[in-house]
């Protein structure tokens, strides 16, 4: 939220068990993991910029229908629906293209302004003063509480997609994120 510049390291190798191709949303009985299918599955041995999406399945339609099913009744789903749906109707060949498009969408919705740069080459470690989020872990314990559609059934889920926060809190999502 406070960054002046975000550097995309598309030269870093894909790492399984990260959020590079998946996100969690709320469900009536537990969180639901939605994964973007990849050519060669999760056993990628290539830089992020070469990771291809497996578009022979209708994953985008499945993700969209799941989002609509879960969030249609939330306070702000209708506010974002028409702007979000094109992300699930546009075919992306590479995972990094989809990830950048979703980041652009989130930036617009939250009115966040930061410059974007592409790393010219892979760096194992970034210099002091640069926060490296490539190995990001869930925020969980310190995440501010907000209204969640199924909290009364499954408790508060701190590691859900930004979509859950936006659909539940709308424009107030930015202020909630600034508490981190």
Q: pLDDT tens, 48-92?
A: 999 999 999 999 999 999 999 999 999 999 999 999 999 999 999
Percentage of the chain lying above the pLDDT 90 cut: 67
pLDDT band at 180, cuts 50/70/90? confident
Cα–Cα distances (Å) from 76 to 56, 86, 109, 171, 173, in that order, read 32, 17, 12, 9, 11
Q: Which domain holds residue 90?
A: 5-177
For residue 62, what are the contacts with CB-CB under 8 A and spacing of at least 6? Answer: 34
For residue 107, what are the contacts with CB-CB under 8 A and spacing of at least 6? Answer: 113, 114
pTM score, two decimals?
A: 0.91
Average pLDDT over residues 21-37: 96
Specify the number of domains making up the chain. Answer: 1
Average pLDDT over residues 110-130: 89
Inform me whether the pLDDT recorded for 120 exceeds 90.
no
Inform me whether the pLDDT recorded for 134 exceeds 80.
no
Q: Which residue, chain included where needed, has tokens 């599955």?
A: 41
């Amino acid at each position: 939220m406070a960054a002046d510049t975000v550097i995309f390291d598309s030269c870093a190798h894909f790492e399984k068990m990260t959020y590079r191709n998946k996100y969690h949303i709320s469900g009536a009985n537990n969180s639901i993991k939605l994964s973007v299918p990849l050519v060669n599955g999760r056993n990628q041995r290539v830089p992020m910029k070469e990771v291809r999406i497996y578009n022979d399945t209708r994953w985008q339609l499945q993700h969209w229908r799941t989002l609509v099913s879960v969030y249609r009744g939330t306070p702000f789903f209708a506010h974002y629906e028409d702007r979000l749906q094109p992300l699930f109707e546009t075919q992306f060949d590479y995972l990094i293209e989809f990830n950048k498009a979703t980041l652009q969408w989130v930036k617009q919705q939250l009115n966040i302004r930061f410059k974007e740069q592409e790393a010219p080459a892979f760096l194992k470690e970034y210099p002091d003063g640069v926060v490296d989020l490539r190995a990001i872990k869930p925020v969980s314990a310190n995440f501010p509480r907000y209204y969640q559609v199924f909290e009364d059934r499954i408790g508060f889920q701190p590691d859900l997609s930004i979509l859950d926060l936006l659909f539940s809190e709308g424009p107030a999502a930015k202020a909630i994120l600034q508490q981190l």
